Amino acid sequence: MTGHDGPVSDFLGTYLDSIDERLLEHLNEDDELKLDAVQRLRFYTSALLEESITPAHVWEDWLDRTY
């Protein structure tokens, strides 16, 4: 991170890099979200709005299906 040094900046840089890597897993060859990712986002958004699941459940389920 330009202009900032220290453990917080190092952590933030590493965290942002990991987001980029994980996002790439959900893109197709045209750099668009894969159909599966779009369907999952739609499902989880609706379920969260209906309060039928918690954000923690979404995170856990998403990880189970991703890896």
Domain boundaries, the chain: 7-66
At 32 the pLDDT is 87
Pairwise CA distance, residues 12 & 25, whole Å:
21
Written as one string, the DSSP assignment of 12-43 is HHHHHHHHHHHHHTTB-TTSSB-HHHHHHHHH
pTM of the model: 0.58
Whether 56 shows a pLDDT value over 80: the answer reads yes
Whether 7 shows a pLDDT value over 80: the answer reads no
Helix (H, G, I), strand (E, B) or coil at 58: helix
